[in-house]
Structure 1
Amino acid sequence: MTRQQQVVIVGGGVIGLLTAYNLASEVRSVVLLDRSNVGQESSWAGGGIVSPLYPWRYSPAVTALAHWSQDFYPQLGERLFADTGIDPEVHTTGLYWLDLEDEAEALAWAERENRPLRAVDISAAHDAVPVLGGGFSRAIYMADVANVRNPRLVKSLKAALLALPNVTIHEQCEVSGFVREGERVVGVETSRGVISGDQVVLTAGAWSGDLLKTLDLTLPVEPVKGQMILYKCAADFLSSMVLAKGRYAIPRRDGHILIGSTLEHEGYDKTPTDVALQSLKASAVELLPALAEAEVVGHWAGLRPGSPEGIPYIGRVPGFEGLWLNCGHYRNGLVLAPASCQLFADVMLGRAPIIDPAPYAPAGRI
């Protein structure tokens, strides 16, 4: 691919935003399109833990992306803050997993992958996190796990892109299909008319499969609903992230505490429900009993881009010259974004890749 090309990116979540950010200095121009406002779907709705919830349960393909991203996130946050004045708040708190059924597997994974995960006495967990509930008997802890304040990451990435003279962002611009010349994709059909591009990148999250259907391609990416709630406590209320029974508590620097999340196959319905609210509140109080006296200040739902084994699709679409994918990150879009977008840029630009791109290639998977 030559540097004198225009790249059209369909989907303005964190994956689309960061893809644009990585490509902008390497191509003539980037046009980023979003059906609503950038970053308002799963990128906004997620918790922002910079780790898969249970990293030892994932394939080596997910682990490779996660490790690279975890190491890179602090410098990404610093660079965006310096460039835009908007701090994504990459906040290293550590993470306690409580009463795991597969604790032995987790510790074996940590030794194999050389990650700083270790068993700790439950009394040590209570000393470190005094507000932790009393109903737990075992804990493991990884000290270097961070969380990123995803709404601020979105704002920072958007501001960084708007400052670049060769990047255009079109919000409220829905893409309905692709423009082709023979076997080549040369643009997209949108609510604002045709937008042409030398290369088209699909980063539309849960909607990516629907768009590929217009080319008679089947991409096994589907929406998976997740609901979360938010409390506001004192800034020093919770010192570390905690996770038990599939539910987690995430502290922000200003005392906001996120509790998540549900896992629901409800199509594109992202209506918050009272059933989920009560379930999340019960989990919150089990983890942190003092939250029984706190007020829920937010409750929302988002749609994850579910994919087989959570392995994203990164690379060229076979049979359609000029069409690329960077989508299908399931529960780990925020975790994997830095590595996924760096790997995507490496593959598109013909550079030596940061990791082996083969497990993510669309060829043979769609």
Structure 2
Amino acid sequence: MVFDVAIIGGGVIGLLSTLQLALAGQRVLLLDKAELGQEASWAGGGIVSPLYPWRYSPAVTALAHWSQDFYPMLGSQLLEKTGLDPEVHVTGLYWLDLEDEAEALSWAESRQRPLASVPIGEVYSHIPVLGAEFKKAIYMPDVANVRNPRLVKSLQAALAAMPNVTLKTGSEVQAFLQEGDAITGVYVDGIAIQAERVVVSAGAWSGSLLASVGIHLPVEPVKGQMMLFKCADDFLSSMVLAKGRYAIPRRDGHILVGSTLEHVGFDKKPTKAAHESLLSSAVELLPALENSQVVAQWAGLRPGSPEGIPYIGPVSAKPGLWLNCGHYRNGLVLAPASCRLLADLMTGEVPIINPAPYLPDSRLEIGYL
């Protein structure tokens, strides 16, 4: 069998790319070297916004806005199809004691986003467990968080029910099939699998895959560590962020605190230093967490890329090769728009947004092996 599309990497980007292409009638093979969604997609916090959206380029903003508006619908659709709720939870987000508050408010006004300054007394009324030393705040009421491990399970269940989708886990891609410069499939477990087009969505591992065909992709692993607490269901009603650290409430009282930013290669081991740093930040934000149960600490690897702008589209020098990777800290945030844009480009539909900033051809170094 020749697939229309083979997708390498079963994180949220690969899963949603598969879903969008399958809905467009494509026969899709999704490959992952382990289980689906167990890397950055599982490890992230799931805030459906860049941490500081006004500090990003218009390219990231365009994808973020489309995805933020789409996520509640996606959550409802997946729950209806699978019975598995991704828990797209609209809580709003408070940014505390920002140095660039004026820039943030100006950005929001120019883009008509609902971000506003709020009196700090109002914040403490809404979040009485907040640390006592904060002086000012801005608030965006419509920011959601998604419970990313459940999103992965829901997407996997939806895809498993589609007759034109094949999911193959525990299958590492060893090489690309090539005819001249064209990419015509992949070698998996020593078996040649043919596909008219191959999409690389392998997160932090995308660069090493592409190096095998002479493509230098400036995507590198950036480690992030998280900490999980268990509190009462009503402990925290909104997400809060200060000094680069955030607390995210789940509906069942779990509180996520993150995250670190470490350039240590492919090392995913949690560390004592990160534990101490995250706990200090957690207690500064929400002092009662000092006496709360720490459920877990873990680490994941983000696909770091220049300015956090993903690569989405075809590689002309290698006909048949497509990319949807390099989302850095915002894979979950940008996934719906990125994957819809990829599907639009692959199926000839009018793109949801201007694809120019993401196209690989103008941004990659390509050699010939």
Q: Which structure 1 segments of 5+ residues have no match?
A: none
Distance 2:122 2:23 in 1: 48
What does residue 361 of structure 2 align with? Answer: 363
Check the 8 A contact 1:236/1:255 in 2, yes or no. Answer: yes
Q: How many residue pairs end up in the alignment? A: 363
Distance 1:87 1:58 in 2: 30
1:246 aligns with 2:244: yes
Check the 8 A contact 1:173/1:192 in 2, yes or no. Answer: no
Give the SS at the match of 1:154: helix
What does residue 289 of structure 1 align with? Answer: 287
4+ long deviations beyond 2 Å: 25-28
Change (3 A) 1:86 1:192: farther
Give the SS at the match of 1:197: strand
What does residue 314 of structure 1 align with? Answer: 312
What does residue 67 of structure 1 align with? Answer: 65
What does residue 133 of structure 1 align with? Answer: 131
Residue 104 of structure 1 and its aligned partner are, at CA, apart by: 0.6
Distance 1:142 1:167 in 2: 38
Q: Which structure 2 segments of 5+ residues have no match?
A: 365-369
Residue 28 of structure 1 and its aligned partner are, at CA, apart by: 4.3
Distance 1:28 1:357 in 2: 21
Distance 1:201 1:9 in 2: 5
What does residue 367 of structure 2 align with? Answer: none
Distance 1:73 1:57 in 2: 22
Q: Which amino acid aligns with 1:46?
A: G
My pick for the range that moved more, 18-27 or 227-236, is 18-27
What does residue 97 of structure 2 align with? Answer: 99
What does residue 42 of structure 2 align with? Answer: 44
Percent of residue pairs identical: 68
1:220 aligns with 2:192: no
Superposed, 1:124-163 pairs within 5 Å as 124-163=122-161
What does residue 79 of structure 2 align with? Answer: 81
Report the RMSD for the aligned CA atoms in angstroms: 0.9
What does residue 170 of structure 2 align with? Answer: 172
Residue 326 of structure 1 and its aligned partner are, at CA, apart by: 0.3
What does residue 263 of structure 2 align with? Answer: 265
Check the 8 A contact 1:7/1:27 in 2, yes or no. Answer: no
Distance 1:28 1:125 in 2: 49
Residue 195 of structure 1 and its aligned partner are, at CA, apart by: 1.6
Give the SS at the match of 2:61: helix
Distance 2:24 2:79 in 1: 22
Distance 1:191 1:108 in 2: 53
Q: Which amino acid aligns with 1:53?
A: L
Give the SS at the match of 1:81: helix
Give the SS at the match of 1:264: coil
Distance 1:69 1:96 in 2: 20
TM-score, length basis structure 2: 0.97
Equivalent residue for 1:302, pick from 296, 300, 303: 300
Q: Which amino acid aligns with 1:267?
A: G
Check the 8 A contact 1:6/1:27 in 2, yes or no. Answer: no
Superposed, 1:2-17 pairs within 5 Å as 6-17=4-15
Q: Which amino acid aligns with 1:248?
A: Y
What does residue 20 of structure 1 align with? Answer: 18
Residue 318 of structure 1 and its aligned partner are, at CA, apart by: 2.0
Check the 8 A contact 1:5/1:27 in 2, yes or no. Answer: no
Check the 8 A contact 2:231/2:293 in 1, yes or no. Answer: no
TM-score, length basis structure 1: 0.98
Distance 2:26 2:259 in 1: 41
Residue 27 of structure 1 and its aligned partner are, at CA, apart by: 3.6
Equivalent residue for 2:115, pick from 110, 117, 123: 117
Give the SS at the match of 2:138: strand
My pick for the range that moved more, 285-294 or 170-179, is 170-179
Measured against aligned partners, the alpha-carbon deviations of 1:205-251 in whole angstroms (never above 9, x if no partner) come to 00001000001110000000000000011110000000000000000
Check the 8 A contact 1:233/1:255 in 2, yes or no. Answer: yes
Check the 8 A contact 1:242/1:249 in 2, yes or no. Answer: yes
Equivalent residue for 1:331, pick from 329, 341, 344: 329
Check the 8 A contact 2:93/2:240 in 1, yes or no. Answer: yes
What does residue 208 of structure 1 align with? Answer: 206
Residue 192 of structure 1 and its aligned partner are, at CA, apart by: 4.9
Distance 1:89 1:223 in 2: 28
Q: Which amino acid aligns with 1:261?
A: S
Distance 1:113 1:342 in 2: 22
Measured against aligned partners, the alpha-carbon deviations of 1:331-359 in whole angstroms (never above 9, x if no partner) come to 00000000000011001111100000000
My pick for the range that moved more, 84-93 or 190-199, is 190-199
Q: Which amino acid aligns with 2:85?
A: D
Distance 1:285 1:279 in 2: 10
